[in-house]
A = this chain, B = another copy of it.
Amino acid sequence: MLEHGGNLHHAAQRYGIPLQQWIDLSTGLNPQAWPMPDIPASAWQRLPEDDDGLDKVAQHYYAAASCLPVAGSQAAIQALPQLFALNRTQLRVGILSPAYAEHAYAWRRAGFKVVPLAADEIETQLNQLDVLLIVNPNNPTGYRFEPAQLLRWHQQLVARGGSLIVDEAFMDSTPEKSLATYTDQKGLVVLRSLGKFFGLAGARVGFVFAEPDFLHRLADFLGPWPISGPSRVIAIAALQDRDWQARARKGLQQQSQRLARLLTDKGLPPTGGTALFQWAETAHAESIHRQFARQAILTRLFTQPCSLRFGLPADEQQWQRLEKALTELNYMNDCSDALCEVAG
């Protein structure tokens, strides 16, 4: 299992600080989550039914012709390589790097040759790939690919029987950049998630967009009832709440800009970011991560490259604690940046 953000229990134990004192900036989740409605008891009690309207609501929100609801985009990340592996053909899989690490892990585990590619290496390597996997916008770098470029790459891949897979977990703030709308084309697979923008990571709801035949095979592979009944109820309501979505889109953009300004002012200018996080490359990442943790602020540390990801503080008190911690940062007295000295 890979390490992820959000593991507060672990941090609380390691640093000996009670759970409730922590500010969790280690994830890229919207801290002002979509507000829960009442959930009918029957949603807990009965088997979820596929024809409850979730497909249609999702097709409308994501502007796509066909979709498969799955238990978070992680479920698709696990399943896609296994589905491709059923053909028992060796494939060369190019994966954007650095990016959300579960992708490369899953393709390698399924027996495929994974080629890690920086964004600017893709164009020249494309003709040697069977599958290209992009995270757009990328996590943690915030790098953005233009739809026109991705569609061009998709054309080139498909001409040779290949596929383009795009993980759009952080796309909700810029829906006009999504490829979901083009997934009626063969060889194009898009993943979306309710976790980040809606702040509903615990619900485990995501969607796969692709041509119907591909989605049928994926559904058969995953089996019936992957999503809990209450999570389906909530997903249907959240995807239809256009007013909340419009407010969230605006609010997150403002908060993310505020975070970027704060980090810049305090000497940690972001290297990239999205509406839900800012990401800063720094050789001092490990030391800074530890200094924050001692003040019960959990950030996400990456070592390849050495960097930190900051999610959005949830309220003014959290903003002030973050500002204080940034002000008190000491880059000199911590001489044990072992991880980053090696990796960075």
Contacts and interface: CB of A to CB of B under 8 A. Distances in A.
Nearest to A199: B45
A328 interface: no
Interface in A193-251: 195, 199-204, 219-231, 234
Question: How many chain copies?
Answer: 2
Nearest to A8: B49
Most B CB atoms within 10 A — which of A46, A102, A234?
A: A46
A130 B227 CA distance: 32
Nearest first, the 7 A-B pairs at minimum CB distance are: A202-B229, A78-B223, A6-B47, A33-B45, A204-B228, A47-B201, A44-B202
A228 to B, nearest CB: 5
B220 A204 contact: no
A270 interface: no
A71 interface: yes
A-side interface size class: 35 or more
Interface string A27-69: 1010001001000011111111101100000000000000000
A174 to B, nearest CB: 22
A74 B219 CA distance: 13
A33 B27 contact: no
29 contacts: A2-B224, A4-B47, A4-B224, A5-B47, A6-B49, A9-B51, A9-B52, A27-B46, A27-B47, A33-B44, A36-B41, A43-B202, A44-B202, A45-B202, A47-B195, A47-B201, A71-B71, A71-B225, A75-B223, A75-B226, A77-B223, A78-B221, A78-B223, A102-B224, A106-B223, A203-B229, A204-B225, A204-B228, A227-B228
A71 B226 contact: yes
B44 A200 contact: yes
Contact of A46 (B6, B52, B78, B102): B6
A44 B230 CA distance: 10
